[in-house]
Structure 1
Amino acid sequence: MAKLQFSISLLTLTLSLTSSFNSIQSATFTLTNQCNYPVWPGLLSGAGTPPLPTTGFPLQPTQSNSISIPPSWSGRMWGRRLCSTDSTGRFSCVTGDCGSGTVECNGGGAAPPATLAEFTLNGANGMDFYDVSLVDGYNLPMMVVPQGESSGNCNVTGCVADLNKNCPAELRLTGSGDVDECVACRSACEAFGDPMYCCSGAYSTPQTCNPTSYSEYFKTACPSAYSYAYDDGTSTFTCSSANYVITFCPTPANSRKTTGVNQSAEISGSGSSANAFGVFSVTVIAFILTSVWWL
């Protein structure tokens, strides 16, 4: 009887350790620059969520940087363009600037227009919620790809199209050089400040705030991205136990749907450790059950 109680206790401990191990895993986010120009990613944690090891850094063309993201983190990431440091040492960007005056954003958010990748990890039912949003406008193409051992509706999402090229004249943000060069495409809310475009005031509900010709410009080019505030149905995706690759200027070939089942080897980090621990747990459980059988 003592042996049986010991075996049951050991089994309970193993299951508890397995559950605890799985619940505290961090995720790996890999930010990759496939643009033919430098990009300075900005990262902002939501209120009450753990800070990240970095809030901004440079990425040269073809360069990548992987970051460990704490469990239950929420926040957003974006790309800054046309950045420079002035004679006083102050760093700033023409698009996506976070106002910190340094490469690190240090709690500053993206000045619109900016393409945003938004995440809430380990949310309802343990699922990650993520989207790519053009609600605050657009400054460069971006794609989010879940990878690793994952489950759920782990769709690729984002915006591959160059929306600056055909941006409506009234939404165009031009650089300080060539007046004809559009460096970002503003939202109608930012451009006009009208509650109808901002989904505010009398238009603050899903029933009263509808797509406009401007939001449809974004939605037609990028069907899986948020185009206005209540565009949830076709723009929010869920996944669990995944790592994520955020790519600036992705190629169309990377926009296909993925379940991540065969891609765990591509991303290093917690996924392989979880698999190894899982094998160990199954082995111990099998040993315990065998021992109980022979008691």
Structure 2
Amino acid sequence: MATMSHSVISLLLSFSFSFFLGGNSATFTILNQCDYTVWPGLLSGAGTSQPSTTGFVLEKGQSNAITMPPGWSGRIWGRTYCSQDATGRFTCATADCGSGTVECNGNGATPPATLTEFTLNGANGLDFYDVSLVDGYNVPMLITPQDGTGGGNCTTIGCATDLNSECPAELRVVLSDGVERSVACKSACEAFGDAQYCCSGEYGSPNTCRPSSYSQFFKSACPHAYSYAYDDGTSTFTCTAADYLITFCPPSDSYAETRKPHGQRTAQEPSVWVDRQCP
């Protein structure tokens, strides 16, 4: 679902709704329930209107409400273990966007990063949303629609499980700042660069790119999140006329991560991103 490239991220949609001017704006409330500070980053899709910010800080317990313009598409993620050096350059140990500032200014997240992805007012006026672990994982995240419609497919989704402590050793990103700790979990594509994990080359189609033991590690823990590039059937959700709550580190009892059946996407329903391969 999410591209593995962090230097140049393709933000073309599989169906282009960037010209769509109908619909209403949506309020995204971003809440930090982690025991540590999170710096959310935002990246807008090509041709869509920009929100008022592309990055900010949330201390423990803080939230920020952002108005997203009609037809907005983009990604929101959390950066962790951030600091500013003596020259004023801002960097983060996980999901850094490389801008050198708190604002990401059009840059995407450096993998590994848990991503939330949205296309608002898409096909048939629907919002499409997902949580993606295709670029790896760094922080638990949930998307909760508020006041929207859409039946069982308009529901809370995400990855509330802390995967950093459970991450396979070969995928771990370790931070040593006096105490060595696992702070993120790479995707197999990021870790090994193999075409079979990246869904590239001869594996660049849904028929040839299949789940691996590594993607199944993510899927078993977070069954409603994208675990590899063609994991569409159980990972894309839709709402109509909703606002959204995005929560970092939700309480473990706030979301039962059991597989819930819901309809497959039809041919007219877009994936949120078209480029989901490694570079």
Measure how far apart 1:129 and its partner are. 0.4
Does the CA-based 8 Å contact 2:22-2:71 persist in structure 1?
no
Partner of 2:102: 103
How far apart are the structure 2 equivalents of 1:76 and 1:58? Answer: 16
Does the CA-based 8 Å contact 1:156-1:256 persist in structure 2?
no
Q: In the alignment, does 2:136 pair up with 1:137?
A: yes
The 1:200/1:159 distance shift into structure 2, 3 A limit, reads: same
How far apart are the structure 2 equivalents of 1:76 and 1:119? Answer: 6
How far apart are the structure 2 equivalents of 1:164 and 1:150? Answer: 34
Does the CA-based 8 Å contact 1:56-1:103 persist in structure 2?
yes
Measure how far apart 1:179 and its partner are. 6.9
Does the CA-based 8 Å contact 2:203-2:209 persist in structure 1?
yes
Percentage of matched positions with identical amino acids: 67
Does the CA-based 8 Å contact 1:151-1:239 persist in structure 2?
yes
Partner of 1:25: 24
How far apart are the structure 1 equivalents of 2:148 and 2:155? Answer: 14
Aligned ranges for residues 62-211 of structure 1 at < 5 Å? 62-152=61-151, 153-177=153-177, 180-211=180-211
Measure how far apart 1:149 and its partner are. 4.1
Alignment partner of 2:55: what SS?
coil
How far apart are the structure 2 equivalents of 1:182 and 1:189? Answer: 19
Measure how far apart 1:52 and its partner are. 1.1
Aligned ranges for residues 223-262 of structure 1 at < 5 Å? 223-255=223-255
Measure how far apart 1:45 and its partner are. 0.1
Measure how far apart 1:118 and its partner are. 0.2
Measure how far apart 1:251 and its partner are. 1.2
Name whichever structure is richer in helix by fraction. Answer: 1
Deviations along 1:236-272, one digit per CA (max 9) or x if unpaired, are: 0000100000000011333269xxxxxxxxxxxxxxx
Name the TM-score, length of structure 2 as normaliser.
0.82
How far apart are the structure 2 equivalents of 1:149 and 1:87? Answer: 46
Counterpart residue identity of residue 235, structure 2: S
How far apart are the structure 1 equivalents of 2:69 and 2:249? Answer: 26
Measure how far apart 1:150 and its partner are. 2.6
Structure 1: unaligned runs, 5 residues or longer: 1-21, 258-295
Counterpart residue identity of residue 86, structure 2: S
By relative contact order (CA 8 Å, sep 6+), the higher-ranking structure is 2
Does the CA-based 8 Å contact 1:151-1:241 persist in structure 2?
no
Alignment partner of 2:233: what SS?
coil
How far apart are the structure 1 equivalents of 2:155 and 2:194? Answer: 33
Counterpart residue identity of residue 216, structure 1: Q
How far apart are the structure 2 equivalents of 1:162 and 1:178? Answer: 22
Alignment partner of 1:122: what SS?
coil
- Structure 1 or 2, whichever has the larger Rg, is 1
Measure how far apart 1:24 and its partner are. 3.8
Alignment partner of 1:202: what SS?
helix
Name the TM-score, length of structure 1 as normaliser.
0.78
Deviations along 1:215-244, one digit per CA (max 9) or x if unpaired, are: 000000000000000000000000010000
The 1:168/1:127 distance shift into structure 2, 3 A limit, reads: same
Q: In the alignment, does 2:49 pair up with 1:35?
A: no
